[in-house]
Structure formats: structure tokens, C-alpha cells
Amino acid sequence: MTEIGIGILGGGYMGKAHSVAMAAVGAVFNTALRPRLEMICASSVESAERYRAAYGFARATDNWRELVEDPKVGAIVVATPQSTHREIAEAAFALGKPVMCEKPMGADLADADAMVQAAEASGVANMVGYNYIRTPASQYARKLIAEGAIGDVTAFRGEHTEDFLADPNAPATWRTLGMANGTMGDLAPHMINGALALIGPIESLIAEVETIHKTRPGGAVTNDDHAQMMCRFENGVMGQMFFSRVAMGRKMGYAYEVTGTKGAIKFDQEDQNTIWLYKMDDPEAERGFRKVLTGPAHPDYEPFCQGPGHGTGYQDQIIIEARDFLHAIHSSQPVWPTFRDGLDVARIVHTALLSAKKRCWLNVSSKG
Amino acid sequence: MTEIGIGILGGGYMGKAHSVAMAAVGAVFNTALRPRLEMICASSVESAERYRAAYGFARATDNWRELVEDPKVGAIVVATPQSTHREIAEAAFALGKPVMCEKPMGADLADADAMVQAAEASGVANMVGYNYIRTPASQYARKLIAEGAIGDVTAFRGEHTEDFLADPNAPATWRTLGMANGTMGDLAPHMINGALALIGPIESLIAEVETIHKTRPGGAVTNDDHAQMMCRFENGVMGQMFFSRVAMGRKMGYAYEVTGTKGAIKFDQEDQNTIWLYKMDDPEAERGFRKVLTGPAHPDYEPFCQGPGHGTGYQDQIIIEARDFLHAIHSSQPVWPTFRDGLDVARIVHTALLSAKKRCWLNVSSKG
Amino acid sequence: MTEIGIGILGGGYMGKAHSVAMAAVGAVFNTALRPRLEMICASSVESAERYRAAYGFARATDNWRELVEDPKVGAIVVATPQSTHREIAEAAFALGKPVMCEKPMGADLADADAMVQAAEASGVANMVGYNYIRTPASQYARKLIAEGAIGDVTAFRGEHTEDFLADPNAPATWRTLGMANGTMGDLAPHMINGALALIGPIESLIAEVETIHKTRPGGAVTNDDHAQMMCRFENGVMGQMFFSRVAMGRKMGYAYEVTGTKGAIKFDQEDQNTIWLYKMDDPEAERGFRKVLTGPAHPDYEPFCQGPGHGTGYQDQIIIEARDFLHAIHSSQPVWPTFRDGLDVARIVHTALLSAKKRCWLNVSSKG
Amino acid sequence: MTEIGIGILGGGYMGKAHSVAMAAVGAVFNTALRPRLEMICASSVESAERYRAAYGFARATDNWRELVEDPKVGAIVVATPQSTHREIAEAAFALGKPVMCEKPMGADLADADAMVQAAEASGVANMVGYNYIRTPASQYARKLIAEGAIGDVTAFRGEHTEDFLADPNAPATWRTLGMANGTMGDLAPHMINGALALIGPIESLIAEVETIHKTRPGGAVTNDDHAQMMCRFENGVMGQMFFSRVAMGRKMGYAYEVTGTKGAIKFDQEDQNTIWLYKMDDPEAERGFRKVLTGPAHPDYEPFCQGPGHGTGYQDQIIIEARDFLHAIHSSQPVWPTFRDGLDVARIVHTALLSAKKRCWLNVSSKG
């Protein structure tokens, strides 16, 4: 068993999730490479120290370069605001240190592109944090589709809907400023990444964005609340997506329905332990969507529990992600989604925002 | 109590539904005007006689003009193929006889437009058969939205999905020929009508159609299997719709989600006795979509049953429709949706098919 | 086609349901025997006349004997309070007139027993109105079990739960007086009848009853709100049932789960168009309860609609019942559940109430 | 921050779950007392060493006494077969070491009783591993009931159903031998504990047990597959429960419905992130079970994720349990359920098995 020192940048929502994941992943997955919580970085010395003590890191800092350059830090997890991702990643790659970066990759397409250059120049492990596609259910959906269990896919409908800003009186924050932090920039990438994983590359699209609450206590809102698109995948599949942070009633609406020529699959992250499978070859009177509860027969479930239907949760997705990142480092094999895969998502977001402006169908250029 | 002789054209799927509805509606709703099953018309003398005997009509014919002109026939229900709707309706209106016409109104926008002219010139009752919006649940949704129960609507997502042609080996029929019989022409109108009822007029849209199975046993397919659109309503609401007759697993997927600034509503016709209502003003820990079972507290439920949750079904929607048509005749007051309301749907279908060809956003001209 | 004059006793909840059913059944099922709404009886001349006009009967009376003895009345539907069932049924049978009687059969086991004697002595058609078991879904469940689709049944769990008296301030009425009108006497019979149909005869049982709200505005309550039992069927199946009229939140909780050695079936009347089927022989990863929407592939669905998932409702159950009654008359063949079948239910209710008193397991004597 | 050395006995299903929980709990809950994975014990040196390496313990042994007596082991988690629980617990308590013991407490009521004596004599922290009641949803249900949100409880229905032995060809194992390992002995305790937590002490009960598959490949089965009971709680609430390990289709059927005079609560562990709440004081037309997704507004959710509806899973329940155990040790305050609470469950199981033999209602003696 080999150990690696982990440095995590950011100690809030995702920083904590990654810290817990690194604490648990070895025991859950019996990983060949074992993470050691070496250093955490936050915006002040005080908060960094608070996170260090809470999560069990050896050391704390408010200086991201110190963390990246520390000789005991062997791999980096970036969970800071997205405008900082590029600089940090570039620094880490320059030192030959593997990076797992939270989604979306950077502040814009140029960032994402530069980050891919840096990652690929370094040759070390690099991964983007799309956790939702890692549930046993969605991994299984991906496998079913790839194996042709529902025939040829003919239509994809997806959404990523939450309502954390649905209350008009929720104050203006960094989240309500800048397209990169809006619904299309920040929330849609999860489902776009999911669509790419389930169906394949997107060829063309037409999108719309809208700001429902144009001012909030504390100031004007400069990015979008709702966003939607229609698209065509390269394999001809018709696609439709909706994204929102003001979708009243939806808490974790990462949901999709995949229609095929022999069956169909439905999933809703709000019931993440269920995958709905319809097969045309069941006898007509017995035909219906099967409510399949995930269990040891599904990908990455058994390490969490030997009993089917006992369920995995949000934190478990991050643990799976940590396992993948450690595996990428240890095996020197890229693990999906790499920075290049993340760039594909960034390119679609970029095209969608452009399409929303021009109000027309646009091809998703394969060269950014 | 006054009686009126009813003549129904067509004895198949919808012809039967309307016949049963006319047999039952008086007892269910204690209508002021009572229908008498006077005459039924079908494509041959034999089938007409068979329908007559089965449904309990007094007389049968294979000549639609004979039915329309019969002095004992006081009102007409048109349930023949849509290419015949216009001629029949025009003849009936010319004689001053009220017409309930199955959806969609005619073979194309020109038909629909002409039918409105004829209807309005006659001044008699005219109605289009959009039954799904008449469930107690959808009537209640409409009422909730109109009363502001979910605040200002900000997004509408709808679908009308079935899978009756999902099997690639289902043979080519009249349904697979001609845009008017395709998914956008024939299936989408139900949900478009629903969207207009729930949200209001549509201002602009962009649509796509696609034929998944281009040939079927028996010949080529000349109309669309899947169709989708994004739209803007005149009140600014963002809309998204998907329609399909090959949506594997979906049997009666007339479903919508309406997002508002104070709540949300979800409905799926496959569970037509449930309406899901979310209200932001519930305390946070108790907040969730309420699974409301329809009952006497909801529109047009009690005449079918005094017990809540006991449920209404497909046939009951047609009975409600019959009640409305009889009321329109008896009161000389137009009942929604009139032919003019049906024309609005036809115009949107027309614009959507044009948009699909041009691949761009189009305004829905208010003048067809 | 032959006609038969129908006389209905009672014009309220069930009287109306049967009236509408008789108006519609011919058109829906193309019955060989056609009902003619001949006479309706209610407690006063005024209400009888009101019902007559509303439902479309030829004549009205407040004298039940007049109706029963009327020469134009060929068959009787009894929808009066249950204490009157016996006398009416006996009179009708004495005249050789077929009777459909609402459940439960009479006021007590002695009534039920006497009614069976009268029915069998007359030799004419007799049927008890257990409508819920007649949904396409429950008929299909019954068929699946009978065919061994889920292997040998090992456990049955059922409930009939509603909440129409859940509000403590709901006033005392005839419903709150007398064991025959309590939950075990009046509500449980539906599910007991369902259990007998799905699983087979009950051998022994132990039961409990309880009055939750012992007084209500208007007086004391003398019968039970909640009731429960455990039982053994003759085939050894373990059973458990719960019944309530104060089951807050439940509107039409006629629900059951049948566990077998090869599969399982779940049903809830609140979503009466869905039957859930689990089959052990599906591959493990694809195994789950199938949400099967009823359609033309299921019993008695197609006459109501050719499209699957379009749904039937409460009134349709009564129409199916009317078809069965007419068929029993026309064919001179008994149609389940006959009065004798109804007696089986009465005997179980009787035993359950006795068991609740004695607080011990009791055998259900096959001889009452 | 203080550290404590943890020794875990058993490395399989639950042994792993507790190991992962101890690895993660500090970071998740920022516990005052921090666990150190000191030693793991398994049935052979080889398996112990394998578990040690996999889960990250410092040392391994196949000698449970060595673990219990080790000076660096400050607290014990017992996850061995239940017949061994008593001896281990007694040894640990004799040394003044806190014990968390998997359910059920011991092989029988005598074991449980002795274990309580030992625990209380020692005065150190002691806890039983009932994890399901620790989901945010069930904790919230407990809170709602305690606060009177649904009024006075009038009925409780619960089940614990799985199907891991539903296949008749599943081989005989230790699980199919001995009443303590049967459904009533081993599976029912979870839901019985839940019932006690939600409703209160049980006063009397009548139960049944049954072995569906009496022989299996490898030998005879000597314990029960199905079990059921009716009961009365001390507060008068009527109860009904069903337990099974052959409940085809059910994977994690820890489910309950609590009926009150002002509302109701429903829960099913197969969708553990949802609690269904019905409130009578909603306006009638808007009344329905609310599908509440757990989130930061619910107990013990936020440490796992700041976003509502993102979901917790099986492993998270064990982490919550670890937090509670550490808190009990650190604060020297008993944390529910203590061994004495576990004894209450054992007493009910004991009474139920006796009742099944005697086929009569039995009081649950408060003195075992």
C-alpha cells in the first residue's frame, strides 16, 4: 500500500465533501493508493485552521501556492471559486502534481482550454468533479445504453433543476453575478456532462437563458436563473434540456429520460437509488417501467453495502470520485472525465450562451 | 327538460367514446338539455348498423350528408378522419346545427380557418374535443394558476408522449402518412391546447420534428414520430415541449410542470387523479410537493363520485365534454375551447412545422 | 337485443352510480340484454321524483314494494341502507326477480344467510356489489395469481382505509351507530371480499376493533373507527389486514400486496390504473416492481378506451358490475360474487367482531 | 481534540460499515472525540489482517480477548454473530470500556438482560446499533410525532421486509438456523425499535411466525421466514407489523405509516430521503401527503450535504451512529438506544415468539 499526501483548496461545501471522501475512500474501496490529509487551504488563516481541525488535516494555510508547492502534498483537489481554478491547476501541473478540479473547469472556455493544455503537457492525472453521473444508478444506465439494452437511442430529455434561489428575497451573492456562475454556466454542466456520457457528443444546439429575478436584496442579478436548450447529438439523437436554480419544488432535479427503439430508461437524482427500466420485449400485459433499486448487482454499490435497496447518498458519490482520482494517479491511466472531457462540456456551455444571444442553432465546434 | 337529437359521425375509437358520453351525460350531470342518440354514420352500411345497435342509436347511415341534414338530428359530433372535418362542419353550420369536432380541427391551418368562419357565421355552438384538459386535476391546475396560487408563472414544461408506434414493426397506416397525422399535427395539439389554457397565448417558438422509423411494413412513413419545441408565451413565460408517438414506455404521457414564483404544479395523465402542488409558504422542513388526490373539492369530480380519491377515467373526460357541448347549445353561450380556440392551436402547429423546416425562431402570427 | 326494466332502490351515492351505470352499460359493452331505466324509489315522493328526472327514469315512487312488484320492473338494484336489504331482496326473489344488492349484504350474518336462502330458492340471478375488485388492474391481479405468475402465494397484506370520519368534529350520523355500519361491518367487507377473490377462503382469524372518537357533535359513537386482523387462509397463506375510516390522508386506500414464491403484486386503488408486478426471473440487475399501466391487454379495459394508460375510474367499475349483472340475468349463469359469496364475507365480519370481543383466534365456520 | 482507540470485532458486512464510519465520522461531524482505528478482530489471522489492511487499522487479531484487553483499545464495536455478543460485552464492561453492540443484543432475552446488568454495573457508554431509525427522515418523523404535528397518534403500521432468502434455492446457512437468527429474532428488531421510538412502549401483542421454505439446499430450516403481529402500545395506539426475509420484491422494506388525529406520516426506507407528511389543516382542495425531501432543515442532514434532496445513504446512518457513540463516551451521557433500550426490543421479540407458540395475546412484562 502506498500513501499520497492530499492538499485540498477550499473548505466549504465541496471542500468538506472531498475531505470526508479522502478520509473514507481507503476503507470503502480498499484502494491501492491511500490518501493522507496533508494540508487544507482556505481564504483566511482562521478558517483554514478551523477546517484543518474539523476534517483532520495535518496542516493549514491561507496561501494556495504554499499548498501546491509543499513537498508532502502529492495531489491537489481544487474546490475554490471557479475563477481561480486555472491558475491553481496550471501551477500544480507545472510541478507534475495530479489535479482533481471541481466543475465547471474554469471561468470560461479559454480557461478550460488552457487547463487542458497544462494537464496534457504535464502528463499527470487530471479529472473534473462531475459527481452525479457516478451514482450506481447512472453508471448502470450508462452501461445499459452502451450495451444496447434499450436498442438505438432516439431521444434524450434531461434537466438539472434546483430551487435554492427560487425565493425572490434570497440576497444577491457571487452566485448571482457573472454568466459563469449562472444556471447555464454553473448548474447545466452537470447534466450536459451526463448527456455526453449517456448519449455521446453534441453536434448542434439552440439555447435560451433568462433571469427571472432581475434584482435581489443587495443588488442586480447579472446572470441567468432558467436556461433551456434543444440539441442534436452526433449520432442523430434528438435532445432537450432544461436547467434552473429557481425551479420551485425541485431540490436535486438531475433527471433524465432516454428513449430507445427497444426500451427506455428514466432517472431522477431525488430518488438516486432507483433506476426505471422499460423493455419492449416483456409481454404486453406485463410491460411497464421497472423500479429497479440499486444493489450489489450495480456498479460501485457493494463497497458501500451488501444489501440491495439500502441506498447510497451524496457523499458516496464523492467517495467514488476520490477512488477514481486515486486510481488515475496510481495506474497512470486517465479516468473519465478528464480535463479534456470537461472541456467538451465548457464548449457546449459556451456555444449555448452564444446561441442564446444570437437566437439560432449553432454547431458545437470540435475545436473550441 | 328539453331533448336534442344527436348525430355522430364515426363509430370507432372516438365515435364510441362520444356515444357512451351522450348516453351517460344526462344522468351524471342532470343536464338541462338531454341528448337522444338519433343517428350514427360510418363508412359502410354494415359498420354503421353495427355501431347503431351497439351504442343504442335510433338510426344508421353511411352517408354523412344524410345525417347532417336529418331533421331529427339537432347537433353534430364529428369523429371522422380529420381531412373530412371541414366539409362536414361547414355543412352543419350552414344548416344552423351546433358542432362538436374532434381535434385537430381540420387537415391544416386553412381548414381550421375556414371552419372558424363557418362557425362564427352560423352563430351556433361550436367546440373542439380537447378532453385531457378536462380532468378534475387539470381543471384545478388551471384554476390554481389563474388565482395566483403559485405566484407568477416563470416556466412551463409539457409533453404528450405515447408509444403506440414505438415498435418498428408496427405497420404503415393512414397515421404514418401526411404531416397532419404525424406527431406534431395530431398528438401535439392536446398539449399545446393545454399550454394555452394553463399559461396563455404563445408568442414565438422554435421546433423540430423527426421520423425515427422511416419505413414500416407496408410502406414509407411520411410524417414525424418525435417533435419538440421551445417557446415563449406572450406573458414572457419560457416554455419547452416534447411530443412523441414512439416514446417507449409512455402510454398516456400528457404531463406538465408549471413553475411559479410562489409554488409549482406537476401533473401526469398516467395518474390522472393526482395533482402535485408545491407551495413555498409551507415551513421549510415541511415543504414538499403535495400529492393531492382529486375529489369533490375539485372541478367536475363530484358528479362522478362523492368520495375523494375514488377516481375518474378517460371516458369521464368525454362525458364532461358532452356536458359542456350541451350547455353551449342550451345557453347559447360559447364554451371553451371553441373553434376559434382550436384555430389558435392549429396556428401554433402550423408555425412549428414551418419553424422545423426553417430551423429558426418564428413568431406565431395572430392572423394565421 | 332484449330489453329489461330496471328498478333502483335508493337515489343517493350508490343509487346514482347504478343509475348512470345502467344508462351507459349497453353502449360500453354492447350487452345482449339492454337495461331500461324503469323506476326509482327514494324515501320521499319529492326526492324520488328529483332522482327520476335527473337520472332519466320513467317513473318514481317512495314505496319500495310498489317498485319491486311493478310488472315493468324486471330486475332490482338495492342501494338503500343495509338494514333494509333483506326485506327487499326477499320480496323480489319471491316474485322471481333478479337482484343486485349493494354490500354489505344485510345488517348482520342472519340477514345474509336468509338472503342466500331466498336467492337460491328463487333460482334467479343474484349479485353483491363489490366494485373495487372489478378494476382492470385487480381483475388482472386475480388472473396472474390464479395462473401462478408469482408462484405459490405466501403472504397477503391488505387494507381498506379512508378518512371521511377522521375529523373529530365530523358529526354523528347513522354511520356512527351500530356495528353493521362501523369500519369492520361496512368498510372491511370490500377488502375481505378482495382477499377471498385473490387468495381463497379464510380459515381462521384474530381481530380487533376500536373507536377513536367516542363522541362526536350530535352524540355518542357506537361503532368502530379502526379495525385490524391477522388471518390464515385455507391454503396456508398468512394474512394481515387493516381497515379504517379515520386513516388520515387515505382517501381510497383499497390496497394490497401479495407475496409469492416467484414474484409479487402490489396495488393501491388510489392509483387504480396501475398494477405493480415483480418477477424473480428477471435478471438480478434488471429486477424491480414493474409499474404496469392498465390497457387493452387487461380485463374489461378496452370497452372503455382503446389506448393503454388512458385510465378507467370509479364509475366504470359500476358499469362493469352492471354488465355482469345483466349477463347473469341473460345467461342464467351465476356471476361472482353471488349472494352466497357475499355470505362468506358476512361470516368473516361476524367472526372478526366475535374475535375482537373474545380477544382470541377463531375458526371461520363454513356453516355460519 | 481527544483521540480514542477503536477496536472492532468482526470485519464482514457490519464490521466494514463501522470501520468506514469510524474513518469518516470525525470529518463529517467535527466530533470532540476522534476515533483511531486501533485493532480489528476476525475469525482467522488471515482475514483479520486482510480487513486491517483494507480498512486502515493499526493492528489485527483473531483473538477477541486480546482486542478487548488491549490497552490502546479504548472503545469496542461488536459486529460478530449475535451468540457471541454477551461474552464480549461483559468482558469489555468489566474492563470499563464502552461498547456499541450490533442488533439484536444477544442470542436471547437472557443474554440481553445480562448485558444490561453488565453495562449498568460498569457505568460506561453502551449503545445498540439500530441504524435505520437514524436517517434524517425517521429522526424527523420522530420529532414531528413528539411535537404533536399530527395530533394524537391512533394507529401504527410497520414492516421490515427484505427478500434475501426469497429464492427457494438459496442455501441453508447460519441464518436459517435458530430462532434468534430468524425473521422475528433478527430482522423484526429494527422495526420494533422504530415503533418504540416513534410511538412508545408496547403493552401487549399477538404474533405469528412461519417458515415458508422448510428445507433449502444444504439442510432443514429451523427458523421463520415471515412473522407478523398486532399490538397495543401503552398509550392505547393500535399497532400492526409484518416482517419477512422472503418478501419478494422488497429489498429494504423498513416502512411505516403513522396515523394521527391531525395528520399522518409515511416512510419507506427504500426511498430513505423522503418523508411523507399529511396535515389536516391544509385547505381541503390542497390537502395531500407532502413528499418532503430531507435537507439541512432536518436532523443530522447538513453535515453530509448543504443541498436539500441531495440525499444520504446507508453508510451515513452508521456514521451518525458512530457520532452518537463517541458523544456518549465523551459526554458520559447515555445516548439512545442504550442496552436497556435494546432489552426492551428483546423482550418484545421474546414475547412475540411465545405468543406465536401459544396463539394468544400476551402482555409484555416490564420485567422481562
The total of other beta-carbon atoms located within 10 Å of residue A277's CB is 25
Same domain, B91 and B234: no
Residue C363 placed within a domain: no
* Alpha carbons B306 and C104: distance in angstroms, whole number: 19
Does pLDDT of B6 surpass 60? yes
Same domain, A198 and A330: yes
Does pLDDT of D367 surpass 80? no
Question: Which pLDDT tens digit goes with each residue over D250-269?
Answer: 999 999 999 999 999 999 99
Does pLDDT of A204 surpass 70? yes
C368: confidence class by pLDDT, cuts 50, 70, 90: very low
> How far C260 CA sits from the closest chain D CA (Å)?
7
**Can you give the three-state secondary structure of C297-356, one letter per residue?**
CCCCCCCCCCCCCCCCCHHHHHHHHHHHHHHHHHHCCCCCCCHHHHHHHHHHHHHHHHHH
Name the residue of chain B whose CA is nearest to D291's CA.
B288
- Mark yes or no for CB contact B264/A249 under 8 Å: yes
The enclosing domain of C70 has a CATH number of 3.40.50.720
Residue A157 placed within a domain: yes
Give yes or no for C157 touching D (CB within 8 A): yes
pLDDT value at residue B366 = 62
Residue C339 placed within a domain: no
Which residues 184-203 of C have a C-beta within 8 angstroms of B? none
Give yes or no for C288 touching A (CB within 8 A): yes
B284 interaction partners in chain D (CB closer than 8 Å) = 295, 297
Give yes or no for C277 touching A (CB within 8 A): yes
DSSP label at residue A123: T
Does pLDDT of A274 surpass 50? yes
Residue D88 placed within a domain: yes
pLDDT value at residue B368 = 41
- Mark yes or no for CB contact C252/B34 under 8 Å: no
Mean pLDDT over A230-253 rounds to: 98
Name the residue of chain B whose CA is nearest to C12's CA.
B306
Which residues 28-47 of D have a C-beta within 8 angstroms of A? 28, 30, 34
- Which of A132, A159, A273, A323 is the best mutation test for D, with the most CBs of D within 10 A? A273
pLDDT value at residue A269 = 98
Give yes or no for D285 touching B (CB within 8 A): yes
Considering CB atoms only, which of A240, A246, A359 is closest to B242? Answer: A240
- With 0-12 / 13-18 / 19 or more C-beta atoms within 10 angstroms meaning exposed / middle / buried, residue D264 is buried
Phi, psi of B271 (to 5 degrees): -130, 65
Same domain, C170 and C99: no
- Among residues of chain C, what percentage have pLDDT more than 70? 99
Same domain, C263 and C297: yes
**CA-atom Rg of chain A in angstroms:** 20
Using CA of residue B123, residue B129, residue B130, residue B135, what is the dihedral sign?
A: positive
pTM over 0.95: yes
Mean pLDDT over B29-46 rounds to: 98
Same domain, A105 and A144: no
* Alpha carbons D272 and D300: distance in angstroms, whole number: 14
Question: Among B131, B158, B179, where does a domain finish?
Answer: B131
Chain B neighbours, 3+ Cβ pairs < 8 A = A, C, D
Name the residue of chain B whose CA is nearest to A161's CA.
B259
Kindly compute the dihedral angle of the four CA atoms of residues A80, A81, A82, A88, in this order, to the nearest 10 degrees. -40
- Which of B140, B287, B300 is the best mutation test for D, with the most CBs of D within 10 A? B287
A31 interaction partners in chain D (CB closer than 8 Å) = none
Question: Among D90, D114, D131, where does a domain finish?
Answer: D131
Q: Which residues contact C71 (CB under 8 A, 6 or more apart)?
A: none
Does pLDDT of B34 surpass 80? yes
Query: What are the respective helix, strand and coil percentages of chain B, to the nearest 5?
Result: 40, 25, 35
| Pick from B157, B228, B181, B162: nearest CA to A238 | B228
The enclosing domain of C252 has a CATH number of 3.30.360.10
pLDDT value at residue C366 = 61
Task: Say if CB B154 and CB A226 are below 8 A apart.
Answer: yes
Name the residue of chain D whose CA is nearest to B293's CA.
D288
B178 dihedral zone (left: phi>0; alpha: psi -120 to 50; beta): left
B146 interaction partners in chain D (CB closer than 8 Å) = none
> How far B20 CA sits from the closest chain C CA (Å)?
6
- Residue written as grid cell 342518440: B37
Mean pLDDT over C138-158 rounds to: 98
Same domain, A252 and A353: yes
The amino acid present at A87, given as its one-letter code, is E
The total of other beta-carbon atoms located within 10 Å of residue B63's CB is 11
Q: Residue D67, SS3?
A: helix
Mean pLDDT over A43-51 rounds to: 98
Task: Say if CB D141 and CB D150 are below 8 A apart.
Answer: no
B264 interaction partners in chain A (CB closer than 8 Å) = 247-250
Rounded to the nearest angstrom, the gap between the alpha carbon of residue C347 and the centroid of all alpha carbons in its chain is 15
Same domain, D159 and D266: yes
Question: Which pLDDT tens digit goes with each residue over D176-232?
Answer: 999 999 999 999 999 999 999 999 999 999 999 999 999 999 999 999 999 999 999
Considering CB atoms only, which of C225, C246, C264 is closest to D248? Answer: C264
Which own/partner pairs from C172-175 qualify as long-range (CB within 8 Å, at least 24 positions apart)?
C172/C215, C172/C216, C172/C217, C172/C218, C172/C219, C172/C220, C172/C221, C173/C218, C174/C81, C175/C245
pLDDT value at residue C3 = 97
B/C interface, count of CB pairs below 8 Å: 144
- Mark yes or no for CB contact D26/A24 under 8 Å: no
Same domain, C123 and C149: no
Give the H/E segment covering residue D143: helix D136-146
Domain count of the fold of chain B = 2
- Mark yes or no for CB contact A249/B359 under 8 Å: no
Considering CB atoms only, which of C274, C289, C297 is closest to A285? Answer: C297
> How far C307 CA sits from the closest chain B CA (Å)?
7
pLDDT value at residue B365 = 80
The total of other beta-carbon atoms located within 10 Å of residue D58's CB is 12
* Alpha carbons B328 and B127: distance in angstroms, whole number: 9
Partners of D6 in the beta sheet?
D37, D75
Residue A165 placed within a domain: yes
Mean pLDDT over A33-60 rounds to: 98
Mean pLDDT over C325-353 rounds to: 97
D352 dihedral zone (left: phi>0; alpha: psi -120 to 50; beta): alpha
A300 interaction partners in chain D (CB closer than 8 Å) = none
Phi, psi of D18 (to 5 degrees): -70, -35
Using CA of residue C215, residue C221, residue C222, residue C228, what is the dihedral sign?
A: negative
Does pLDDT of B61 surpass 50? yes
Question: Which pLDDT tens digit goes with each residue over A173-202?
Answer: 999 999 999 999 999 999 999 999 999 999
**A286 lies in which domain range?**
133-334+345-358
Mean pLDDT over D45-58 rounds to: 98
Rounded to the nearest angstrom, the gap between the alpha carbon of residue C309 and the centroid of all alpha carbons in its chain is 24
Residue C368 placed within a domain: no
* Alpha carbons D79 and C235: distance in angstroms, whole number: 40
> Tell me, what's the ipTM?
0.97
Question: Which pLDDT tens digit goes with each residue over D279-322?
Answer: 999 999 999 999 999 999 999 999 999 999 999 999 999 999 99
Phi, psi of D132 (to 5 degrees): -65, -35
Does pLDDT of D368 surpass 90? no
B287 interaction partners in chain D (CB closer than 8 Å) = 290, 292
pLDDT value at residue D365 = 80
Give yes or no for B285 touching D (CB within 8 A): yes
- Mark yes or no for CB contact C240/D228 under 8 Å: yes
Give yes or no for D160 touching C (CB within 8 A): no
- Mark yes or no for CB contact C17/B307 under 8 Å: no
A313 interaction partners in chain D (CB closer than 8 Å) = 273, 304-305, 310-313, 315-316
> How far B326 CA sits from the closest chain C CA (Å)?
15
Give yes or no for B1 touching D (CB within 8 A): no
Crossing angle for the helix pair C109-122 and C339-358, to the nearest 10 degrees: 160
Residue B300 placed within a domain: yes
Give yes or no for D288 touching B (CB within 8 A): yes
Does pLDDT of A365 surpass 90? no
> How far A17 CA sits from the closest chain C CA (Å)?
29
Question: Which pLDDT tens digit goes with each residue over C32-62?
Answer: 999 999 999 999 999 999 999 999 999 999 9
Same domain, C38 and C166: no
Using CA of residue A31, residue A33, residue A35, residue A36, what is the dihedral sign?
A: positive
Give yes or no for B291 touching D (CB within 8 A): yes
Same domain, C149 and C74: no
Question: Among D112, D131, D150, where does a domain finish?
Answer: D131
- Mark yes or no for CB contact A259/B246 under 8 Å: yes
| Grid cell locating C65 | 314494494
Question: Which pLDDT tens digit goes with each residue over B353-368?
Answer: 999 999 999 999 864 4
Question: Which pLDDT tens digit goes with each residue over D118-164?
Answer: 999 999 999 999 999 999 999 999 999 999 999 999 999 999 999 99
D298 interaction partners in chain B (CB closer than 8 Å) = 285
Does pLDDT of B1 surpass 80? no
Residue B367 placed within a domain: no
pLDDT value at residue D366 = 61
Same domain, B139 and B127: no
| Grid cell locating C205 | 382469524
- Mark yes or no for CB contact B155/A264 under 8 Å: no
pLDDT value at residue A368 = 41
Same domain, C156 and C28: no
A230-258: string of b/e by CB count within 10 Å (b at 16+)? Answer: bbbbeeebbbbbbbbbbbbbbbbbbbbbb
